[in-house]
Amino acid sequence: MRKLKEAIIEKTLLTSALVTIAVTAGIILVLSIEAVNFFSEVSVLDFLTDTEWTPLFADKHFGILPLLSGTLLTSIIAIAFAVPIGLSISIYISEYAPKSFRRTIKPALELLAAVPTVVYGFFALTVVTPFLQTFIPGLSGFNSLSAGLVMGIMIIPFISSLSEDALHAVPNSLREAGYGMGSTKLQNSFRILVPAASSGIIVSVILAISRAIGETMIVAIAAGQQPRLTFDPTVPVETITAYIVQVSLGDVQHGSLEYRTIFAAGITLFIFTFLLNTLSYQIRKKFREKYE
């Protein structure tokens, strides 16, 4: 009887693992098939070099660059905003704050990541953009600046929490070695602890980038839906994710070329995040080898 129960549990676990793998494989397969279909009609060269993305217009262009620039621009703004703040927070919590503060502030910060992104999107559109318009008169109602900044707020806890874990994991003996040499707290933090925790910090930033690139709601709501090859943060742009939402929600006919564009865009996104995750995995593996 016990044996049977164990066998059932084991089989159930195995099945769920297999289902997960099968679903992932299925997603990749569908993405690939539809992308191959797409690229049988549109040349890869055009896709990569055309500077316009107008699949829904009469004059169709299929250049991914405008969507890519929109994605990169919003992500760069988010990262540029979130890394210094997230890292400062992590250093403060790990090296300066009293232990009791650490115990309350960490979960509180992680709550930031639990806010639904649609809320962030409307915050960007209805609060941040009007606020920024008082300083930047030329700022459009939809723009990558406020979308990027709010996305930055969303990813701060990714960076601060994971970096803090990395700093916290630095052995106390190193901290004491630094202080013993006459370091100030600031010198100890930046010259000893941050370098010693660098792999963990880099991984946190990569995961945050990955999260920013894949983020959909905030950019769809606040950055606009105008594919545009630009690095001007004040004008509307469209990201890959926002485009996919736009087409998925629209009444594009299944199986049409327009429909397949979302798979071409999707696989581009997939390749990006896959590379980033692989990179972070590699760094983590190297880190583990170094300290074990």
Binding site for other proteins (CB under 8 A): 99, 171, 173-184, 187, 191-192, 195-196, 290
Considering the complex, state which of residue 76 and residue 202 has its C-beta at the smaller distance from other proteins: 202
**Whole-number Å distance between alpha carbons of 219 and 254:** 25
Phi-psi region of 255 (alpha: psi -120 to 50; beta: other; left: phi over 0): left
Cα–Cα nearest to 152, from 65, 80, 94: 80
Q: Name the residue nearer to other proteins (CB basis): 38 or 287.
A: 287
CB of 99 to other proteins, least distance (A): 7
Cα(168)–Cα(171) distance, rounded to whole angstroms?
8
The 10 Å CB-count burial string (b at 16+, else e) for 152-186 is: bbbbbbbbbbbbbbbbbebeeeebeebeeeebeee
Cβ 244 to other proteins, closest distance in Å? 43
Nearest to 223 by CA among 247, 199, 239, 245: 239
**Distance of closest approach, residue 183 Cβ to other proteins, in angstroms:** 6
| Residue (119 or 174) nearer to other proteins, CB | 174
Looking at the Cβ atoms of 91 and 213, the one nearer to other proteins is 91
Residue type for 281, please?
A: Y
As measured in angstroms, the least distance from the Cβ of 291 to other proteins is 9
Asked whether the beta carbons of 139 and 224 are under 8 A apart, the reply is: no
Q: Considering the complex, what minimum distance in angstroms separates the CB of residue 83 from other proteins?
A: 22
Q: Which is nearer to other proteins, 61 or 191 (CB)?
A: 191
